[in-house]
Structure 1
């Protein structure tokens, strides 16, 4: 019992002594954030040569080739970009002529080995395999092509499933 009383007295004496030994305290907090390593994506769109205006062209006529790859082999997804000159409806896009906006061109992204993947309100067409991807862009319908420039915008991204 004597040892218990002595220990209690020592504990009572040491608490104020400890608080006097450490004064003017300050605390610091940090939120540790871990980001993933970026994987750069290369995207090219190449127009097919020999396309002429004022000619009726059949649906399915290839007009461009899309190619994408990433620094590290990953699955890649594509999507048309919505803009004032480009209206998107799934894998079909209506593109306005740059100087005559009433003239349009309907294109389709041929999604042979791509799967539609909905992310919020955006639909990406994702490759099933990791590595470089190539897709055709063709006329969506039979149409007479008016002379002019039709700016096409598409986005590619690494798909992290």
Structure 2
């Protein structure tokens, strides 16, 4: 009978001792999970995603005019074209945590600025379409991101 009583009292005592020793080793706590560690949702990376549109701006395009003339000359004829962005252009850009991530589908109308200045001797095909240029974001399956 003494043996039976000793086993009945010793077994719970040994169990409590084992749990109290093992708890710090396993990182288990008797407190509710909400008090010990933030939930998995709170530990996930968070940030601010903004979709911004272009309101105004300027665009500079550097061209080699020999490519438009079909001239195979090795001497480059560079020209720099200046444009302003059209007022009603819809060209959304994604910004995450104040870092530019890239454009979404959309387009910007280019308004020529300073075309009548000296040095603008453009080929006829380019000169005729100069008032109708647009920068457009292409779908992701294309070879390039942007097209003029």
Using structure 2 for the length normalisation, give the TM-score. 0.30
Higher helix proportion, which one? 2
Flag the structure with larger Rg.
2
Higher strand proportion, which one? 1
Higher relative contact order, chain-length normalized (CA < 8 Å, sep 6+): 1
